[in-house]
Amino acid sequence: MLWTASLCLLWALSILGAPVNKQRQKVLLISFDGFRWDYDRDVDTPNLDKMAKDGVKALYVTPPYLTITSPTHFTLLTGRYIENHGVIHNMWFNTTTTEKKPYYQTQFVNEWWDNGTLPIWITAQRQGLKAGSLHFPGTASSYQGQVAMVREVEPLLYNYKNETAWRENTDKVMGWFRDQDLDFVTLYFGEPDGTGHRYGPDSPERREMVKQVDRTVGYIRQSAKQHGLTNSLNIIITADHGMTSVYRNGQVEEITLSKIPGFSFRDLSFHLVDFGPSGMLLPKPGKLEKVYNALKGSHPHLHVYKKEEMPERLHFAKNDRILPIILWSDPGYVINGYFPVQFHKGEHGFDNQEMDMKPFFRAVGPAFQKNLKVGPFETVNIYPLMCHILGIQPEVNDGHLNATKHMLVTSTTTQGEFISD
């Protein structure tokens, strides 16, 4: 009778979606900044290929707009579109004082990050799990007075290309899982973004960096095995955005705002331009229509929108931090202010529908099916997937578990499916 009851209990648990495998699932979320969805097509990537064979590979994933580093990473951590989580730019800015802080300094402006949305580190810890982060954007901040319990922020002028440091950081994170019994960790690598910017996405330098990424993926899996984590650790590898080549050396008519008839920087109280293909403007009182009308239609590859007229699909309007006029350019073009000051051969920040802005996605571990190729999905959906594997109730988010649950092995996922609209 007891044996029959046990069988019935196992059957009931499987029907309800509860784990038959009682070993607690861990998750490592890794970002290789700027790794475009097709970077493995012109480079031999045996370790990424092996990871796909052992797990799941998506054709590509779609990041939120604005396709730049901090906003898109915070979407991975929260499952929210950028207008909803409020980290709208890499740069903190103050429209009254006109002060701006670059990417690294902005990491330490707490109120920029802690503005109402909780990242998964904090949610997991509030539900009894242990979380950590190494170099991931947002790591330096506290959220409602809490921080990731184990964290490391890279120093100023950090060398993001150092392969030896990549391996040391990998072993450090695996040690956190094994020795401190962490449940969830985020790990950030600053390449191939830097190389793609400097040399362009079609360069031999970028292809060499992709080989370095691939070697590191192999090392990550090897380190997980050496630390005894193979049966409990799920590894998700993705990126924040892609990269596209920039037109240079007289190939096209560049976009330079100061040369546009009827436009004047004197009509602005504040602006964010000269940072790639996107920009935001705050006109002085009474000058909005003048600025807008001067810019609208001024260049065939410049898109100009009033905040309230932004396409709804971009989810980049309904936040007080977003300025009244938003600009972005077509692929290959950047937006210059007074005169060209941008010399990158590769850029991102374009419309997230552009294929060159799409990142890659791989996942492997006991929760995931093997040798499964899936279609594209939005990166907001990675958050509810991670919450489900960890067995935690997610915060309000814009993702859907339905977009990713077909990747999972039902018998090894965790306590029921939390689906948030």
C-beta separation of 256 from 387 below 8 A: no
Of 254, 279, 276, 278, nearest to 344 (Cα)?
276
* Alpha carbon of residue 203 to chain centroid: 23
CA distance 107 to 88: 13
Tokens 């090392």 correspond to 219
The catalytic position among 69, 117, 195, 412 is: 69
CA distance 376 to 358: 9
CA distance 197 to 75: 22
C-beta separation of 416 from 405 below 8 A: no
| Alpha helices in 79-119, H assignment, sequence order | 82-85, 103-106, 110-113
CA distance 40 to 207: 9
For 115, list phi and psi in degrees, rounded to 5.
-130, 30
Catalytic, 69? Answer: yes
Burial pattern 344-370, b for ≥16 Cβ within 10 A else e, equals bbbbbbbbbeeebbbbbbbbbbbbbbe
Which residues belong to the active site?
A: 69
